[in-house]
């Protein structure tokens, strides 16, 4: 038994690889292009595990994907691979179209061919799981009900639009060809191995370095935060028990404004390494098209599959801070190189 994971050297993918190998005996093949966001240091310790194999490559490379499917005969393909940062999609949307749409199309085409050639029982048991986001639903007002699986897609950023397109392709491959697909739409993740372009690790590393903490606009935008291991657990539950062709929303039931996030983080850091971190908060120009609020209604996955988030925000944030403090080499290797260039471009000397 083998599963093929794509994008397993990124933040959520790497957490998933660790958690899967920690609780399963199946072999896991990890196909990752190693973009700026992919990092083999996220997978340290697995190099000698006979159940694990890393393949450096692109989901859009049909010959490579075809060869992997034929050679390893996976029972499931889980697609984590994506360009994932909204601000980068605003600066340079092309890579988002290429990986998140063309890449997913190419992957689906090869998976479809492979799946159609399987014997009947294997065909029935096979799953393609698309890891998606709540951003495809667009934005909420402060009083709107949370996103459910029937909320229409109204993506607002190039990133969200590219993920929405991919989800539609996945849906169409199920509807048209019968490919046994599952889609998960998750809210904002945080935790170990997150590239510090995203809000929580960015604030954390800037605070520890005494640099400004950039808050877009007035800081009242709301996100629904979920600790990454809770997301990984939800994906495993959906893969094992989800109904074919369905989508499942995954969320933390944990809405916070960005100001609440930065204040909580500053208070926590002040306990560990005393200093007035709040004084570092700096309001900077807003993200164009910035979605005001995301919130997930996770009733379906809870009622059907018995999943709910285990970590509170305070526990998760404490664990995240602890992890970054305990991994200075990981941090140093990330914040040199490409990251410097990104920070200079995005914040133009503000941080
Ligand atoms: P990430 O940017 O940290 O990692 C993405 C990984 O995909 C990297 O390892 C990268 O090298 C790889 N990759 C990129 N293009 C590729 C390609 N063409 N072929 C093969 N590999 C490629 O992203 P993440 O935050 O771990 O997100 C993983 C998935 O979860 C994405 O699909 C994202 O849309 C989704 N998601 C993320 C969040 C979040 O809060 N981070 C929330 C919901 C859903
Ligand atoms: O909702 C799920 C999505 O969450 C995922 O699909 C995306 O891959 C992931 O990047 C994340 O998107 P966001 O845009 O919500 O995350 P980000 O960490 O970039 O920003 C979170 C909030 O913080 C958002 O309101 C913008 C704000 N922000 C972000 C940065 C980087 C700031 O105020 N300052 C910043 O410097």
Domain locations along the chain: 2-190+226-253+290-312
Tell me which DSSP letter residue 54 carries. E
Tell me which DSSP letter residue 245 carries. T
What does pLDDT average to over the chain?
A: 97
Q: How far is the CA of 187 from the centre of ligand 1 (A)?
A: 14
pLDDT in tens, 172-181: 999 999 999 9
Q: How far is the CA of 254 from the centre of ligand 1 (A)?
A: 22
Ligand 1 lined by 59 (C-beta under 6 Å): yes
From the CA of 87, give the closest atom in ligand 2: 19
* 58 contacts: CB under 8 Å, gap ≥ 6: 33, 64, 99, 103
Q: For a substitution probing ligand 2, which of 13, 35, 79, 86 has the most ligand atoms within 8 Å of its CB?
A: 86
Nearest ligand, CA 343: 2
Mean pLDDT for 101-106 is 99
Ligand 1 lined by 38 (C-beta under 6 Å): yes
Instruction: Calculate the dihedral angle through the C-alpha atoms of 301, 320, 96, 235, rounding to the nearest 10 degrees.
Output: -20
Tell me which DSSP letter residue 137 carries. G
pLDDT in tens, 212-235: 999 999 999 999 999 999 999 999
Q: How far is the CA of 82 from the centre of ligand 1 (A)?
A: 4
**Catalytic residue annotation:** 134-135, 159
Q: Whose CA is nearest to atom 34 of ligand 2?
A: 215
| The token pair that represents 63 in the structure block | 């010959």
| The token pair that represents 186 in the structure block | 């998750």
Q: Which residues pair with 32 in a beta bridge?
A: 56
Q: Which residues pair with 129 in a beta bridge?
A: 78, 182
- Determine whether 288 is exposed, middle or buried from the number of CB atoms within 10 Å of its CB (0-12, 13-18, 19+): exposed
From the CA of 14, give the closest atom in ligand 1: 26
Ligand 1 lined by 163 (C-beta under 6 Å): yes
For the beta sheet containing 52-56, the strands, ordered from the edge strand earlier in sequence to the opposite edge, are 52-56, 27-32, 2-6, 76-79, 127-133, 181-186, 247-250
User: Residue 351 pLDDT more than 80?
Assistant: no
Closest CA to 246 of 303, 183, 337, 334: 183
Per-residue pLDDT at 349: 58
Q: Cα separation of 103 and 133, whole Å?
A: 17
CATH classification code of 2-190+226-253+290-312: 3.40.50.720
CB 94 within 8 Å of CB 69:
no
Per-residue pLDDT at 60: 99
Q: How far is the CA of 284 from the centre of ligand 2 (A)?
A: 14
| The token pair that represents 239 in the structure block | 């893969």
Q: Which residues pair with 78 in a beta bridge?
A: 5, 129
pLDDT in tens, 286-305: 999 999 999 999 999 999 99
Q: For a substitution probing ligand 1, which of 4, 8, 12 has the most ligand atoms within 8 Å of its CB?
A: 12
Q: Whose CA is nearest to atom 20 of ligand 2?
A: 199
């Amino acid at each position: 038994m083998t599963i093929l994971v794509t994008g397993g050297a990124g933040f959520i993918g790497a957490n998933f690889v660790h958690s899967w190998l920690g609780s399963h005996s199946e072999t896991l093949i990890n196909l990752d292009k190693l973009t700026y966001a992919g990092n083999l240091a996220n997978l340290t310790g697995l190099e000698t595990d006979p159940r694990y194999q890393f393949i450096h490559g692109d989901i859009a490379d049909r010959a490579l994907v075809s060869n992997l499917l034929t050679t390893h005969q996976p029972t499931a393909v889980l697609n984590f691979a994506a360009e994932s940062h909204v601000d980068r999609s605003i600066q340079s949307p092309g890579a988002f179209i290429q990986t998140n749409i063309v890449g997913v199309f190419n992957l689906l085409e090869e998976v479809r061919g492979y799946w159609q050639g399987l014997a009947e029982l294997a065909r029935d048991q096979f799953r393609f799981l698309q890891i998606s986001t709540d951003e495809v639903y667009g934005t909420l007002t402060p009083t709107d009900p949370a996103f459910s699986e029937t909320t229409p897609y109204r993506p607002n950023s190039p990133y969200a639009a590219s993920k929405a397109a991919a989800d539609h392709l996945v849906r169409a491959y199920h509807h048209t060809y019968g490919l046994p697909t599952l889609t998960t739409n998750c809210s904002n993740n945080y935790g170990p191995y997150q590239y510090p372009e995203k809000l929580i690790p960015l604030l954390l590393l800037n605070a520890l370095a005494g640099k400004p903490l950039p808050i877009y606009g007035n800081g009242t935008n709301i996100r629904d935060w979920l600790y990454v291991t809770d997301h990984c657990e939800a994906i495993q539950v959906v893969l094992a028990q989800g109904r074919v062709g369905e989508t499942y929303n995954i969320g933390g039931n944990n809405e916070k404004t960005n100001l609440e996030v930065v204040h909580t983080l500053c208070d926590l850091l002040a306990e560990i390494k005393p200093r007035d971190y709040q004084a570092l908060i700096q309001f900077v120009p807003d993200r164009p098209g910035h979605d005001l609020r995301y919130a997930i209604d996770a009733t379906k996955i809870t009622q059907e599959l018995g999943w709910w988030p285990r970590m509170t925000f305070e526990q998760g944030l404490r664990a995240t801070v602890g992890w970054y403090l305990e991994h200075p080499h990981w941090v140093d290797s990330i914040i040199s190189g490409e990251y410097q260039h990104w920070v200079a471009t995005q914040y133009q000397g503000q941080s």
